Amino acid sequence: MAIMYALKSSDNEIFEVEQKVIEQSETIKKMIEDGAATGEIPLQVSSKTLAKVLEWCKQRQHKTVENENDDNKGKRKKERDEDDDIKEWENKFSDELKADKDVLFDLLLASNYLDLPALLSFLCQLVADMVAGKMPEEIRRMFNIENDFTPEEEKAITAEHGWAFQP
Amino acid sequence: MDLRMDKVDRISALPEGILQHIISFLSFKQAVQTSTLSKIWKQAWLTYPILNVDRTDKDPERRRVILTYLGQTLLKRDMEMISITKLVLKMELTSYEASYIEQSLQYAVRGCKLELQSRVNLPSLRNLSLAQIDASDQVIDYVVSGCPLIEFLRIDDCLELKSLKLFNLDKLKKIKVSFNEKLERVEINASNVHSLSITYTVTPCWINVVLCKNLKQLKLWSLSITDEWLCNEISELLLLEYLDVACCMNLESILISSSRLKTLFIGGCINLVEAKIEAPSLSAFSYQGDMISFSFNALALSEVDLYFYTDDSDAEWLFKFIEALAKFHQFSEVINLKIDSIEHMLVPRALRQTLMPPLSGTKHLNFRNSYACLRFPIMEVVDSLLWISPHLETLSIEIGSRNKIFLQFSYNNPVIYEGETPRCCQSRPISCWQHCMKKIEIEHTKNYIGEVINRYSFVEEEILEMLEKIDAALLI
């Protein structure tokens, strides 16, 4: 019987989760170890975001459990298939986040707060992919970044960094 | 989608660490681009400690621009004290190109993980310091072998370094290698090196420097070198003038035979029991540590510094101490003697009748008491020091770092006592100071700044009385 924990989101929704799944979060793991996690574990994460976080954690947990149950025979093939499955799942996950950047940033902050290094890296890579190959003006528009340099500052920056904009 | 959200810049509100994490997945060029987005992004780039120059451009102009930028960035980070934790340079540089970055490399590559794909040519670099570099033997070799004109090389705290081989670097003059924990092997064949320092490598390390034929200065601190190694290596280094050996725990018996050696320091080798020195040119010798036995053949010796630890001193220690001092009396006119506390070297009066004063030829004795207070009257101290070294011209006594007493003596002629010999002088070749002292001038300085608080000048009968006055002054 798997040990279950109850996580409480900032908007008071309860999520019942297996210990193995939530222990990927160093923050929660520490709370459990410190004995601070009797009953519900209150988290500063909205239910919408927490659901996404758990979706990610379960997917990864799923992967590790299956690997443990493998015999060596036919493992290669299985692994390859599995990798394809994960890729597909990740692509879908990424597409959703790209479409709703608000969720993306909530998730970034949550992964930072919950100390989920794999998710954090995944999301940073995702943002980097969105940025890569785009000119600053496009990036600003994509993320609503305000160009807060004065014209003089802008001139100095172009002089220093201009080379990076040449093809 | 909520329209309001379109206007909010959420990405720039992320913690700087996350922005830098995002930057870490970008190419060097794109990473530089992000620094032009806004002030927040500029700041994130300015403090980002990793420079990963992944460009392998062929176009010379573009390469020049990138390298100039890298050079400026390294310099800027150094000025802002932002250490670079990782520097990756994938380009193979021509000698001309290297000149754009070599100066800044010198200063900025500190505490850095260095990854190089091939040899870096830094053809005019003269001074290279690699500190806290996380780099393999191979990478260090790439860097060093690409600097044919290098004169000064310093390698500190490179924890991955296991084997250091320096060959065919004819311009190399000075080498310092320290705190490289995993260093197992050092082999240097650089004929013009005149100064070499290998320090703080406590793991057993095989060292060979005998091919540095022009070596004049050698410093060996905290190494696992053996008696035999030291003896052989020194005998091969014919031009060696300066040797400093300290905290080498495996040394038990130091045997040094060197014709040119002028300065020798030995200190803190806790297992040392003897030092045999054959050095006809030696002029300055310094020893610090437990009492050991000395054997000297060093006729040119003019200044001796001795600091003996007194942790486990006893009656036997005192005999050894007197015996050790006696080894220096024929060589040195100036002796600097330091001891933690004077009580260990006060020679009991009964002993003075049977022993010979060890430093009868010494003219100037500078004594330092580490502790800030003397547990004995200054009279006793002067008396004891004047037994050790009768007929001194000057005696300086430093107590802690606060008090210094400088005494200048003149004696009645003849110094050799004739006629009726007082009992205290009977067993001696020369009379004891109390019976031939003509005049003493005393200067007592106090405080760190060296303010003279008292000057005394007096003759014969007043001596004891005056010394008592100084005792009183010391207590203030």
Render pLDDT for A6-15 as a digit per residue (tens, 0 to 9). Answer: 899 999 999 9
Q: Helices marked H in B115-205 — which ranges?
A: 137-145
Residue whose C-alpha is closest to residue B342's, from B366, B362, B370? B370
**Which residues, 6 or more positions from B143, have their beta carbon under 8 angstroms from its beta carbon?**
B114, B116, B120, B122, B128, B130, B135
Q: What mean pLDDT comes out for the span B231-258?
A: 95
| Partner residue opposite A145 with nearest CB, options B5, B11, B72 | B11
Describe the crossing of helices A75-99 and A101-113 by its angle, rounded to 10 degrees. 120
Q: Which chain A residues are closer than 8 Å to B69 by Cβ?
A: 160-161, 163
pLDDT at A1 over 70: no
CA distance A79 to A92: 20
pLDDT at B293 over 80: yes
Cα end-to-end span (Å), chain A: 59
pLDDT at B261 over 90: yes
Q: What mean pLDDT comes out for the span B410-432?
A: 58
CA distance B159 to B136: 9
Specify the pLDDT at position B370.
82
Tell which wins on pLDDT, B436 or B408: B408
CA torsion sign for B423, B328, B348, B353 is: negative
Structure tokens at B70: 């890298």
Q: Which range (A61-70, B24-33, B379-388) has the least confidence?
A: A61-70
**Which residues, 6 or more positions from B319, have their beta carbon under 8 angstroms from its beta carbon?**
none
Tell which wins on pLDDT, A35 or B368: B368
Specify the pLDDT at position A31.
84
Specify the pLDDT at position A20.
87
Neighbours of B348 (CB within 10 A): 10
CA distance B47 to B55: 21
CA distance B32 to A150: 19
**Which residues of B have a CB under 8 Å from any CB of A?**
1-2, 5-15, 17-18, 21-27, 29-30, 32-39, 41-42, 62, 65-66, 69, 72
Are B363 and B335 spatial neighbours (Cβ–Cβ below 8 Å)?
Answer: no
Structure tokens at A125: 């890579």
Instruction: Categorize the per-residue pLDDT at B450 as very low, low, confident or very high, splitting at 50, 70 and 90.
Output: low
Give B122's DSSP letter. Answer: -
H helix or E strand, kind and range, residue A152: helix A151-161
Specify the pLDDT at position B116.
67
Neighbours of B429 (CB within 10 A): 11
Beta strands, E only, B247-333: 253-257, 263-267, 274-278, 284-289, 293-297, 303-308
Please, which residues bridge with residue B187 across strands?
Answer: B165, B208
Give B87 to chain A, closest Cα distance, Å: 19
Q: Nearest residue of B to residue A121 by CA position?
A: B21
Q: In this predicted model, what pLDDT tens digit does every residue of B392-418 receive, in sequence order? A: 899 999 888 778 888 888 877 654 545
Specify the pLDDT at position B159.
82
Q: In this predicted model, what pLDDT tens digit does every residue of A91-115 receive, in sequence order? A: 999 999 998 999 999 999 999 999 9
Specify the pLDDT at position B413.
61
Q: In this predicted model, what pLDDT tens digit does every residue of B144-166 receive, in sequence order? A: 887 788 888 988 888 889 999 99
CA torsion sign for A16, A19, A25, A28 is: positive
CA distance B216 to B279: 14
Neighbours of A39 (CB within 10 A): 8
Q: In this predicted model, what pLDDT tens digit does every residue of B299-313 receive, in sequence order? A: 888 889 999 988 767
Q: Which chain A residues are closer than 8 Å to B30 by Cβ?
A: 131-133, 164
Q: In this predicted model, what pLDDT tens digit does every residue of B192-228 receive, in sequence order? A: 999 999 998 878 889 999 999 999 999 999 999 999 9
Angle at B419 (CA atoms; ends B415, B421), nearest 5 degrees:
75
CA distance A20 to B257: 70
Cα end-to-end span (Å), chain B: 84
Contacts 24+ apart (CB under 8 A), B13-20: B13/A105, B14/A105, B14/A108, B14/A109, B15/A112, B16/B43, B16/B44, B16/B47, B17/A112, B18/A108, B18/A112, B18/A120, B18/A124, B19/B44, B20/B44, B20/B47, B20/B48
- Backbone φ and ψ for A59, nearest 5 degrees, come out as -60, -45
Structure tokens at A74: 């036919």
Cα torsion through B396, B400, B403, B404, rounded to 10: 10
Neighbours of A164 (CB within 10 A): 20
Specify the pLDDT at position B3.
45
Q: In this predicted model, what pLDDT tens digit does every residue of B71-80 receive, in sequence order? A: 888 878 777 7
Residue B418 Cα distances to A59, B429, B431, B432, angstroms:
106, 10, 9, 12
Q: What mean pLDDT comes out for the span B382-395?
A: 88
pLDDT at B475 over 70: no
pLDDT at B476 over 70: no
pLDDT at B107 over 60: no
Residue whose C-alpha is closest to residue B114's, from B90, B96, B97? B90
pLDDT at A71 over 60: no
pLDDT at A37 over 70: no
Q: What ipTM describes this predicted complex?
A: 0.90
CA distance B74 to B83: 9
Q: What mean pLDDT comes out for the span B432-452?
A: 72
Amino acid letter at B412? Answer: N
Instruction: Categorize the per-residue pLDDT at B2 as very low, low, confident or very high, splitting at 50, 70 and 90.
Output: very low
Are A101 and B10 inside 8 Å of each other by CB? Answer: yes
Q: Which chain B residues are closer than 8 Å to A102 by Cβ?
A: 2, 5, 10
Question: What percent of chain A has a predicted confidence (pLDDT) above 90?
Answer: 44
Specify the pLDDT at position B468.
73
Specify the pLDDT at position B70.
85
Describe the crossing of helices B463-474 and B378-388 by its angle, rounded to 10 degrees. 120
Q: Which chain B residues are closer than 8 Å to A158 by Cβ?
A: 36
Q: What mean pLDDT comes out for the span B248-252?
A: 94
Q: Could you identify the residue written with the tokens 């005696």?
A: B395
Q: What mean pLDDT comes out for the span B417-435?
A: 57
pLDDT at B1 over 50: no
Tell which wins on pLDDT, B139 or A117: A117
Question: What percent of chain B has a predicted confidence (pLDDT) above 70?
Answer: 81
Give B136 to chain A, closest Cα distance, Å: 27
pLDDT at B421 over 70: no
Mean pLDDT of chain B: 82
Q: Which chain B residues are closer than 8 Å to A157 by Cβ?
A: 35-36, 42
CA distance B398 to B371: 10
Are B238 and B262 spatial neighbours (Cβ–Cβ below 8 Å)?
Answer: no
Q: In what order do the strands lie in the sheet with B206-208?
A: B163-167, B185-189, B206-208
Residue whose C-alpha is closest to residue B218's, from B191, B201, B241? B241
CA distance B384 to B345: 8
Please tell me whether the overall predicted TM-score, pTM, comes out greater than 0.90 for this model: no
Instruction: Categorize the per-residue pLDDT at B104 as very low, low, confident or very high, splitting at 50, 70 and 90.
Output: low
Q: What mean pLDDT comes out for the span A71-76?
A: 52
Q: Is the preceding omega at residue B348 within 30 degrees of 0, hence cis? A: no
Please, which residues bridge with residue B396 across strands?
Answer: B366, B406
Specify the pLDDT at position B4.
46
pLDDT at B138 over 80: yes
H helix or E strand, kind and range, residue B457: strand B451-459
Residue A142 Cα distances to A99, A132, A137, A147, B41, angstroms:
11, 12, 9, 13, 15
Are B214 and B193 spatial neighbours (Cβ–Cβ below 8 Å)?
Answer: yes
**Which residues of A have a CB under 8 Å from any CB of B?**
100-102, 105, 108-109, 112, 120-121, 124-125, 127-129, 131-133, 135-136, 139-140, 143-149, 157-158, 160-161, 163-166
